[in-house]
Structure 1
Amino acid sequence: MTGILTGIKVVEFAQNAAVPYCGRLLAGMGADVVKVEPLEGDAMRGLAQLAPNEGKAYAVINPGKRGITLDLGSDDAGTVVDALFTWADVALVGFKQPDLLRYRIDDIHARSINSRLIHLTHTPFGPEGPDADVGGYDVLVQGRSGAGFIMNRTENGVPVSTRPAINDFGTGIASALGVVAALRHRDLTGEGQRVDASLLGTALALATPVVNFFEKIDPEAVAQLDEDLKLLQSAGVSFEERRQVYEQRVVPGAGAFRLYFRHYATADGIISVAGLSPGLIRRFHEITGLQTPDRNDPHGAEFNAVVEAADALFRTKTTAEWITKLREASYPCGPYNTPFEAINDEQIRANDFIIDFEHPAFGSYSASGEPIRFGAVPAQKVGPSPGLGQHTREVLAEVGLADNAVDQLIADGVVTSPS
């Protein structure tokens, strides 16, 4: 079966989630993605292990790829790296800047070998500035971007990292978009180029509605809020209480989110409702019979009373009963699933948003499918994640290394291959 990116060859030098998820998306569109791992494997192989060198996190992030191992620090690794760059249309690289140069996998070296190469370079905090060379992870940009202040739940008065790591996976999506755009540019010009992606840039993009500043209205209010939050912190007021102060003053439409765009407990579970337009707000009150509060005072006594009444009302029926009632009135709503319930949700399965895999080392598993589909090209059915070094011999032969050269690399411990 062919995909929309069939014929595009991708080499991936990256671990963990952000860049590998980009590779996963490209593989799902038909690209031939070769993942290059250290001899001991991607760190994700060790999380929630299912078999030796096989873990849950690795299995769900890396379907559809071929896998090889390579000791990038060895003297002979350069031969393999250069052969892969020559072969590839796209390189996905997730190393700190000093390591890019150390291992000669930086964009300048790569494109000196293959001028048509698209080199996706990932840096946690962006390629410029004082922290350009600093390593980082999703939890760090949750804090630095300001998004965590809104999103993180709390435990013992301290913010807790949001899961799943949405900035990792958002960066994977943004990276795939960048790669496809660069391939289009290459179609037009024949030129390869460097494409930069970062966790911090993604976090700020995802936080667009809450991380912004308007010179016309914000300076005085923000200065006062900053002063008040610091005073509250010095007085020992909890993070959650400080956040509530922030939301009451800053978050647009805070009242609407308390009533019309939220989750409610029902008689047997939880339901999600969503209706922020004037028409849907009117419909909410028609369906529920609740009075319409003054939304200009979203934390006043009247509004609080309506919120309490809504909470009590939704507890009087089951989730299924509320979904039926609300949908009969064309009011947006839906179930609130646990992750395991989502896997078997009829709507999710009907669209192959979750698909099944069969892995030779640990059997069947279910994980995310393709988030987009194309009308002219059927969805690409991808295989499971690769075993450690599973395709080393196969790939190195394809990129031009002779069998005896591969044998020597294995003997010298530069690469590994299952016997």
Structure 2
Amino acid sequence: MAQHSDIQRNGPLSGIRVIDLTAVVSGPMSTMILADQGADVIKIERADGDFTRHVATRRGGHSASYLNNNRNKRSVVADLKNPDDIAMIKTLVQDADVFIQNFRPGVVDRLGLSYEVLSVLNPRLVYMSISGFGFDGPLANKPVYDPLIQALSALTTVQAGSDEERPRLVRTILPDKLTAVQASQAVTAALFARERTGKGQKVTLSMLDTVAAFLWASDMNGHTFVGDEMEVEASQSFHDLIYEVKGGYLSISIMQNKHWEALAHATGRPDIIDDERFKTTELRDINRDARLDLTQEMVRDLDRDTLLTALEEAGVPCAPVLTRREMRQHPQLEANGMFVEYDHPTAGRLRQTRPAAVFHGTPATDLRPAPELGEHTAEVRASLTPNPLADAS
């Protein structure tokens, strides 16, 4: 592991330097995860900055999107068409541990920043490439955004419930964010392998592959047994597990027999225990639409908070359906210490989540706001020692 004396971070990745040539969300979120865990992430931006610097929901000249995906990093402005700036990036790479980019396939080759070039300068380099659809094949060079991945991966039809229903987008950029988490995990796995072998490696990851792998764990059972694939995917249920009650909505999730019996008693409907359609876990699954219709009928006229208390006391898995404002005010998230506040020099007081994972042996306690565009350009350039290898490669 290279130790970098010009910036002190704490956390499990302290001493790791990441050169970040990513933009928008999937790449920047992945590098922020690494930065939150103590890595020194140097974000290379063009003169007008990451695209997300310019989107809506702004204060003090900063977008919330940029602030929420780029904290704990340093920003360096570089012109990727300028040979001197390319040489500067190569010099940075020689003393780095990780290089991450999410350009379309082929772009880094034209820039002279491919794995083949950079691994010669630094054989211990972990080189992560993130793409949308993949690195070869008919769609590899197409422009990509999150909804396109949701469509092509079948996530939209999974969300619809069946192949015959109108496809629906998940109302968050799940492929982007899931790819970010997968990328950060893959980088740390490659760093661990390097500790054993002494060698870096190239790692490739596409958003499409990430979502396909994610879906297979629970949504592709009908395509698991070769030769017995489903021709048309039947609806898992015509209902979401969201129930309308007086004063709002609840989610109730019944899996085990004891939970079904507890629901029966908590709602004053012990008769459902003897209903032959719902006697076992398998029967409750086979007759799921009837079960969910019955559950909705049972709870529709009950007060939300009264019912929630009764269900919780009976041991029924349940939760209130919250708005975003209610979520951040919920006592469980408060108990978890999930939200942090700190001051940004120009955007003012910010509220964000802490990193989800808490490292009790190597705590990551740094919290620095997302950088101004080019804030650290002079600092980083001044720390570089000119290296003829970077110019010659």
Q: How does 1:164-203 map to 2 (within 5 A)?
A: 164-203=172-211
Q: How many residues align?
A: 368
The one of 178, 188, 210 aligned to 2:219: 210
Contact 1:349 1:355 in 2 (8 A): no
The one of 261, 267, 271 aligned to 2:250: 271
What's the CA shift for 1:280?
A: 2.0
Letter in 2 for 1:264: Y
What's the CA shift for 1:17?
A: 0.6
Contact 2:263 2:314 in 1 (8 A): no
Matched residue SS, 1:25: helix
Contact 1:152 1:159 in 2 (8 A): yes
**Bigger Cα displacement from structure 2, 72-81 vs 284-293:** 284-293
Partner of 1:323: 308
Matched residue SS, 2:374: coil
Contact 1:63 1:382 in 2 (8 A): yes
Cα RMSD over matched residues?
Answer: 2.7
CA distance in 1, matches of 2:288, 2:149: 35
Contact 1:68 1:392 in 2 (8 A): yes
The one of 295, 309, 324 aligned to 1:310: 295
CA distance in 1, matches of 2:48, 2:189: 34
Letter in 1 for 2:362: V
What's the CA shift for 1:264?
A: 1.2
5+ long unaligned stretches in structure 2: 1-8, 388-393
**Bigger Cα displacement from structure 2, 321-330 vs 140-149:** 321-330
Matched residue SS, 1:355: strand
The one of 377, 391, 398 aligned to 2:383: 398
What's the CA shift for 1:217?
A: 6.4
The one of 116, 121, 125 aligned to 1:108: 116
Cα deviations by residue, 1:221-249 (Å, 9 ceiling, x for unpaired): 41xx3xxxxxxxxxxxxxxxxxxxx433x
Partner of 2:339: 354
CA distance in 2, matches of 1:391, 1:401: 18
CA distance in 1, matches of 2:336, 2:384: 37
What's the CA shift for 1:68?
A: 1.4
Contact 2:61 2:346 in 1 (8 A): no
Contact 1:293 1:306 in 2 (8 A): no
CA distance in 1, matches of 2:136, 2:74: 33
Cα deviations by residue, 1:353-390 (Å, 9 ceiling, x for unpaired): 33223211111122232111123122433212111111
Q: How does 1:8-407 map to 2 (within 5 A)?
A: 8-51=16-59, 53-151=61-159, 159-208=167-216, 209-212=218-221, 213-215=223-225, 218-219=228-229, 221-222=230-231, 225=232, 246-248=233-235, 251=236, 254=237, 258=239, 262-288=241-267, 289=269, 291=272, 292=275, 294=277, 307-400=292-385
CA distance in 1, matches of 2:43, 2:30: 11
Q: 1:394 to 1:147 in 2, by over 3 A?
A: same
Q: 1:149 to 1:118 in 2, by over 3 A?
A: same
Contact 1:24 1:63 in 2 (8 A): yes
CA distance in 2, matches of 1:138, 1:50: 22
Contact 1:293 1:303 in 2 (8 A): no
Identity of aligned residues (%): 26
CA distance in 2, matches of 1:215, 1:8: 43
CA distance in 2, matches of 1:395, 1:110: 19
Letter in 2 for 1:347: Q
Letter in 2 for 1:284: L
What's the CA shift for 1:70?
A: 1.2
Contact 1:137 1:199 in 2 (8 A): no
**Bigger Cα displacement from structure 2, 280-289 vs 78-87:** 280-289
Contact 1:264 1:272 in 2 (8 A): yes
Matched residue SS, 1:108: helix
CA distance in 2, matches of 1:338, 1:179: 34
Matched residue SS, 1:334: strand
**Bigger Cα displacement from structure 2, 265-274 vs 392-401:** 392-401
What's the CA shift for 1:293?
A: 6.0
Partner of 2:5: none
Cα deviations by residue, 1:82-118 (Å, 9 ceiling, x for unpaired): 1221121111111112211122222111111111111
CA distance in 2, matches of 1:326, 1:196: 46
Matched residue SS, 1:76: helix
Q: 1:344 to 1:144 in 2, by over 3 A?
A: same
What's the CA shift for 1:305?
A: 6.0
Return the TM-score normalized by structure 1: 0.80
What's the CA shift for 1:9?
A: 0.6
CA distance in 1, matches of 2:336, 2:208: 31
CA distance in 2, matches of 1:128, 1:192: 23
CA distance in 2, matches of 1:311, 1:167: 32
Contact 1:59 1:384 in 2 (8 A): yes
Q: 1:196 to 1:352 in 2, by over 3 A?
A: farther
Matched residue SS, 1:218: coil
Cα deviations by residue, 1:43-101 (Å, 9 ceiling, x for unpaired): 11111142465211111111111111111122322121112211211111111122111
Contact 1:123 1:135 in 2 (8 A): no
